[in-house]
């Protein structure tokens, strides 16, 4: 259950860059009191295609969920597009991991894409013809116009991933968070998705992508965030893509920090931060 | 109806069916949502957990008046959700276990309360558990000039309100059920929607409690929705079909309650419409499993048989085509006698299918009888049959070309595999196969690939 924080600080303090697409200050996130992200300080500028890279359990998805207020954070503050999350929800698009939903659900591809418009349509109002037309256009952009009426379980994995992408596109957001959009798709689909992401970036949007494939990171992205339960490095990809940084990200866990996390998860005290 | 069932009375049995139908329709709406969220057993839990709410409603009002019971049940339904969340939040308690602990505790509390109030209020605990729809038509009111059971306007009201709530919150319920994380990211309040669903389930349980009792209500929540899911693949039609199936279950349930004990020669005058309705609802699920167009047994068998017959027809056309090509210029008969096929091996079933295929092909004017003494088993191609066979031979040879080239299968293995593949008529597949045609004019055996 997401916790809705009452922020006591002003909308934007000196610790946040108002021009950043995403600005994270001193954020720690814990599951059942066990921290999975420690003391994160991170700014991502607008108009970049950014990869979030790190080993399994590094807190990549958690970082995105914390930005969207889907998981509670223990401390710190986050600003998106220079504002509180609640104030900019309509300008944020989210593509969760494909496995998080039940693809046997009785809806068509077009129905799923229409869900991207629900916020724009507003509570209690029905989906109308023009909304369906907009959703159709988004499906066309990802090359799935012919599959609009198909029940989603009858789509291939790559097509399902593109349906999710189309749902994000139809939102017409300024900042996108995508959790492994390239996971288990074929090469052709990967190129199609990449093309869409680049066109988003080229039209001035910011796209933040959790990515697993180190082979392609350097070619696909122009901004890099290296994460392993704490920030290893972040910045332009030419500057951050170094052997040293990668080794620091993937080469061995910070065993002491991890052990401390487990200890906090099991300790009976209500004290969360040391 | 009056003919079939000796003591049928429209003014009594008719109302029982109306009441049970209204209940089944009301339950089908939240039941469908529960099913697609894979939370059907939550319906079971809530149906039990509302019992203390109902009992407290009795205690407070002192009557079986619906409004108090509904309010009590909704509070109890919401409490189930919150207590379960709370237990899970304490940590270490699995979701299913937490739910199991909460709903049985509430149910037990409800039982204790009901036994307590049963003395002061006209309420029989067994009616609460097993339903008392047989008594409902006896308690009548006059509403807009018509005399009807007291339950009917009340049930109608709950049904309409449930329907309207789902209609108005359709988008939000849909996205919260399909993808709660994205719903939350968009500010669509999936947890609030879960609570709304709990309220609808609780309301369904209260109205159902009158008709089928608090135990069998779960069959009305789950069975019509499960059957509807098998024959539809969109949520809205699924809900409407579930409501229809609920009505059928109500009618079938009451009729079988009246008739089946007689067939079984049971010497009884008592009927249990609630039990019969639940059994009938399950029967409808089984029927849907058999008849479902997507995964149904019946259609599966039907399609496989139809495919087998089509293969036989196409093979026969292929044989006739090859015979024509072989005998061209040799002055031989271009026809084929069915007894020449199969080499005596495959036996009776094969010959039966082939004869049936020949009849179908003659029917479609793809073949005619041939030979000096016309006989139905002696056949040859017509012009229409020849062009149809050309299409099939082309497909066969294109497959051979593809298999030998792209898949690098040895030439002597090609024919059998191509014999299987040539029957696939998927348009996308055929389009890709046609693209192979660019690679050659002849198949790997050196035969010309005919143009259709």
- Tokens standing for A72? 């509670």
Return the bridge partners of A231, or none.
A227
Evaluate whether A207 touches A178 at the Cβ level (below 8 Å).
yes
Q: Which residues of A touch B188 (CB under 8 A)?
A: 118-119
Identify whether residues B431 and B305 lie together within a single domain.
yes
* B318 burial level (CB within 10 Å; 0-12, 13-18, 19+): middle
- Tokens standing for B416? 């059998």
Domain contains B415: yes
* Interface contact flag, A112 B168, Cβ < 8 Å: no
Question: Which residues, other chains included, contact B341 with Cβ-Cβ below 8 Å and sequence gap of 6+?
Answer: B316, B319, B351, B354
- To 10 degrees, what angle do helices B15-36 and B151-168 make? 20
pLDDT of residue B70: 82
Q: Using a CB cutoff of 8 Å and minimum separation of 24, what contacts does A145-148 make?
A: A147/A109, A148/A108, A148/A109, A148/A110
- The residue among B80 and A43 whose pLDDT is bigger is A43
Q: Residue A173 and residue A244: Cα distance in Å, rounded?
A: 35
Read out DSSP for B77-105?
A: HHHHHHHHHHHHHTSS--HHHHHHHHHHH
Residue finishing a domain among B185, B219, B253: B219
Q: Which helix (H) or strand (E) holds B344?
A: none
pLDDT of residue B335: 75
* B136 burial level (CB within 10 Å; 0-12, 13-18, 19+): buried
The residue ranges of every structural domain in chain A are 21-266
Residue among A53, A18, A57, A17 nearest A35 (CA): A57
Question: Which residues, other chains included, contact B81 with Cβ-Cβ below 8 Å and sequence gap of 6+?
Answer: B194, B195, B198
Which strand ranges, in their side-by-side order, compose the sheet holding B367-369?
B336-337, B378-381, B367-369
Cross-chain CB nearest to B178 (options A2, A65, A107): A107
Q: Residue B360 and residue B383: Cα distance in Å, rounded?
A: 16
Evaluate whether B282 touches B219 at the Cβ level (below 8 Å).
yes
Closest-approach residue (CA) in chain B for A149:
B234
Confidence of residue A274 (pLDDT cuts 50, 70, 90): very low
Using only the alpha carbons of chain A, give its radius of gyration. Answer: 19
What 8-state DSSP symbol labels residue A206? E
Residue finishing a domain among B177, B194, B219: B219
Rounded to a whole number of angstroms, the distance from the CA of A219 to the nearest CA of chain B is: 29
Identify whether residues B23 and B150 lie together within a single domain.
yes
pTM of the model: 0.79
- Tokens standing for B400? 């051979």
Cross-chain CB nearest to B191 (options A1, A105, A106): A1
Pairing of strands A230-236, A223-228: antiparallel
Q: Is A65 on the interface with B (CB under 8 A)?
A: yes
Domain contains B351: yes
- What is the SS3 assignment for B42? helix
Closest-approach residue (CA) in chain A for B174:
A115
pLDDT digits (tens, 9 = 90+) for A100-109: 999 999 999 9
Report the number of distinct structural domains present in chain B.
Answer: 2
Q: Residue B367 and residue B361: Cα distance in Å, rounded?
A: 6
Domain contains B279: no
Closest-approach residue (CA) in chain A for B91:
A32
Domain contains B354: yes
Closest-approach residue (CA) in chain B for A112:
B175
Residue among B160, B218, B121 nearest B25 (CA): B160
Domain contains B19: yes
Domain contains B230: no
* Interface contact flag, B178 A115, Cβ < 8 Å: yes
Rounded to a whole number of angstroms, the distance from the CA of A80 to the nearest CA of chain B is: 13
pLDDT of residue B5: 64
Evaluate whether B102 touches B84 at the Cβ level (below 8 Å).
yes
Q: Residue B111 and residue B333: Cα distance in Å, rounded?
A: 87
Identify whether residues B324 and B427 lie together within a single domain.
yes
Question: Which residues, other chains included, contact A111 with Cβ-Cβ below 8 Å and sequence gap of 6+?
Answer: B174, B234
Identify whether residues B198 and B78 lie together within a single domain.
yes
pLDDT of residue A7: 47
How many CB atoms are located within 10 Å of the residue B300 CB? 14
What 8-state DSSP symbol labels residue B131? -
Rounded to a whole number of angstroms, the distance from the CA of B215 to the nearest CA of chain A is: 28
Window A:174-233, CB contacts with B under 8 Å: none
What 8-state DSSP symbol labels residue B139? S
Q: Residue A135 and residue A148: Cα distance in Å, rounded?
A: 9
pLDDT of residue A227: 93
* Interface contact flag, B171 A121, Cβ < 8 Å: yes
Closest-approach residue (CA) in chain B for A168:
B182
**Hunting for tokens 């122009």 — which residue is that?**
A222
Domain contains B159: yes
Rounded to a whole number of angstroms, the distance from the CA of B235 to the nearest CA of chain A is: 5
pLDDT digits (tens, 9 = 90+) for A159-209: 999 999 999 999 999 999 999 999 888 888 999 999 999 999 999 999 999
Q: Which residues of A touch B171 (CB under 8 A)?
A: 115, 118, 121, 125-127
Q: Residue B238 and residue B224: Cα distance in Å, rounded?
A: 10
Helices marked H in chain A: 60-67, 85-88, 109-114, 118-121, 129-141, 157-170, 187-202, 214-220, 237-240, 243-250, 255-266
| CA B1 from centroid of its chain's CA atoms | 29
Report the range out of A150-154, A269-273, B425-429 with the highest average pLDDT: A150-154
How many CB atoms are located within 10 Å of the residue B310 CB? 14
Evaluate whether B152 touches B133 at the Cβ level (below 8 Å).
no
- CATH class of the domain at A21-266: alpha beta
Query: To the nearest whole number, what is the mean pLDDT of chain A?
Result: 87
Cross-chain CB nearest to B234 (options A69, A102, A106): A106
Q: Which domain holds residue B427?
A: 300-439
- Maximum distance among all Cα pairs of chain B, rounded to whole angstroms: 104
Cross-chain CB nearest to A106 (options B168, B171, B229): B229
Identify whether residues B182 and B304 lie together within a single domain.
no
Q: Residue B312 and residue B287: Cα distance in Å, rounded?
A: 31
Residue finishing a domain among B163, B192, B219: B219
Using only the alpha carbons of chain B, give its radius of gyration. Answer: 32
Residue among B199, B217, B221, B203 nearest B157 (CA): B203
pLDDT of residue A1: 43
Q: pLDDT (tens digit, 0 to 9) for every residue of chain B, 452 residues total?
A: 444 566 778 888 899 899 999 999 999 999 999 999 998 888 888 888 888 888 888 778 776 666 787 888 888 888 888 888 788 777 667 878 888 888 889 989 988 888 877 666 666 667 777 777 777 787 788 877 888 888 888 889 999 999 999 999 999 999 999 999 999 999 889 989 999 999 999 888 887 776 677 767 888 999 999 999 998 999 999 999 999 999 999 999 989 888 877 777 666 656 678 888 888 999 999 998 888 776 667 777 787 888 888 888 888 888 888 888 877 766 566 677 777 776 445 566 777 778 888 888 888 888 888 766 777 778 888 888 888 888 888 888 888 888 887 777 777 777 777 877 788 777 777 777 777 767 777 777 777 788 76
Closest-approach residue (CA) in chain A for B183:
A115
* Interface contact flag, A127 B171, Cβ < 8 Å: yes
Instruction: Kindly tell me the sign of the dihedral angle through the C-alpha atoms of B422, B428, B434, B436.
Output: negative
Q: Torsions phi, psi of A27, nearest 5?
A: -95, 130
Domain contains B277: no
Q: Residue B58 and residue A186: Cα distance in Å, rounded?
A: 62
Residue among B128, B280, B111 nearest B215 (CA): B128
* Interface contact flag, B179 A100, Cβ < 8 Å: yes
């Amino acid at each position: 259950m997401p916790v809705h924080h009452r922020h006591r600080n002003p909308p934007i303090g000196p610790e946040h860059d108002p021009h950043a697409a995403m600005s994270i200050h001193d954020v720690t996130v814990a599951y059942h009191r066990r921290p999975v992200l420690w003391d994160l300080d991170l700014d991502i500028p607008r108009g970049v295609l950014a990869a979030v890279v790190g080993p399994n359990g590094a807190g990549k998805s958690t970082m995105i969920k914390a930005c969207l207020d889907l998981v509670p954070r223990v401390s710190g503050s986050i600003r998106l597009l220079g504002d509180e999350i609640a104030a900019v929800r309509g300008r944020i698009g989210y593509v969760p991991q494909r496995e998080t939903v039940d693809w046997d659900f009785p809806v068509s591809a077009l129905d799923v894409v229409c869900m991207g418009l629900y916020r724009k349509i507003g509570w209690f109002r029905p989906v109308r013809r023009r909304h369906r037309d907009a959703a159709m256009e988004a499906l066309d952009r990802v090359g799935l116009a012919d599959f609009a009426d198909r029940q989603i379980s009858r789509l291939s994995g790559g097509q399902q991933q593109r349906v999710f992408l189309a749902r994000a596109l139809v939102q017409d957001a300024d900042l996108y968070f995508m959790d492994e959009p390239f996971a288990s798709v074929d090469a052709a689909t990967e190129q199609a998705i990449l093309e869409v992401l680049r066109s988003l970036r080229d039209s001035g949007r910011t796209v933040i992508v959790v990515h697993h494939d180190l082979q392609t990171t350097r070619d696909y992205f122009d901004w890099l965030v290296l994460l392993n339960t704490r920030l290893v490095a972040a910045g332009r990809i030419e500057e951050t893509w170094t052997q040293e940084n990668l080794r620091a990200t993937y080469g061995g866990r910070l065993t002491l920090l991890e052990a401390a996390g487990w200890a906090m998860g099991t300790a009976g005290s209500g004290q969360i931060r040391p | 109806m009056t003919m079939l069932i000796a003591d049928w009375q429209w003014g009594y049995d008719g109302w029982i069916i109306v009441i049970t139908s209204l209940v089944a329709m009301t339950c089908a709406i939240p039941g469908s949502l529960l099913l697609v969220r894979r939370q059907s057993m939550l319906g079971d839990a809530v149906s039990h957990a509302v019992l203390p709410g109902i009992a407290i409603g009795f205690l407070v009002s002192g009557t079986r008046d619906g409004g108090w019971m509904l309010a009590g049940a909704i509070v109890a339904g919401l409490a189930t959700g919150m207590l379960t969340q709370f237990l899970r939040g304490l940590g270490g308690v699995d979701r299913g276990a937490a739910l199991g602990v909460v709903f049985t505790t509430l149910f037990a509390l409800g039982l204790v309360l009901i036994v307590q109030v049963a003395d002061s209020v006209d309420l029989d605990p067994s009616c609460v558990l097993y339903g008392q729809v047989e008594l409902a038509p006896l308690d009548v009111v006059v509403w807009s000039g018509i005399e009807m059971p007291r339950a009917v306007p009340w049930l109608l009201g709950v049904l309409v309100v449930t329907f309207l709530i789902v209609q108005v919150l359709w988008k939000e319920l849909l996205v919260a059920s399909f993808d709660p994380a994205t719903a939350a990211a968009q500010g669509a309040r999936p947890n609030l929607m879960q609570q709304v669903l709990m309220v609808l389930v609780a309301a369904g349980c209260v109205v159902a409690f009158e008709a089928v009792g608090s135990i069998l209500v779960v069959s009305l929540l789950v069975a019509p929705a499960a059957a509807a899911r098998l024959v539809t693949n969109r949520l809205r039609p699924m809900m409407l079909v579930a409501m229809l199936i609920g009505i059928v279950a109500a009618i079938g349930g009451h009729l079988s309650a009246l008739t089946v004990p007689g067939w079984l020669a049971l010497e009884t005058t008592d009927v249990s419409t609630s039990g019969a309705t639940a059994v009938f609802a399950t029967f409808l699920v089984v029927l849907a499993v058999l008849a479902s167009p997507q995964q149904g047994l019946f259609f599966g068998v039907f399609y496989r048989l139809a495919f087998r017959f089509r293969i036989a027809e196409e093979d026969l056309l292929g044989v006739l085509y090859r015979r024509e090509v072989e005998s061209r210029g040799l002055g031989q008969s271009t026809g084929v006698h069915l007894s020449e096929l199969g080499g005596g091996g495959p036996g009776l079933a094969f010959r039966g299918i082939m004869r049936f295929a020949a009849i179908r092909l003659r029917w479609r004017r793809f073949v005619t009888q041939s030979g000096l003494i016309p006989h139905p088993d002696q056949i040859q191609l017509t012009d229409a049959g020849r062009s149809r066979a050309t299409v099939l031979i082309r497909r066969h040879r294109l497959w051979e070309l593809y298999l030998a080239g792209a898949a690098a299968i040895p030439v002597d293995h090609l024919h059998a595999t191509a014999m299987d593949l040539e029957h696939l008529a998927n348009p996308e597949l055929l389009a890709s196969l046609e693209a192979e045609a660019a690679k050659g004019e002849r198949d790997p055996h050196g035969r010309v690939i005919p143009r259709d």
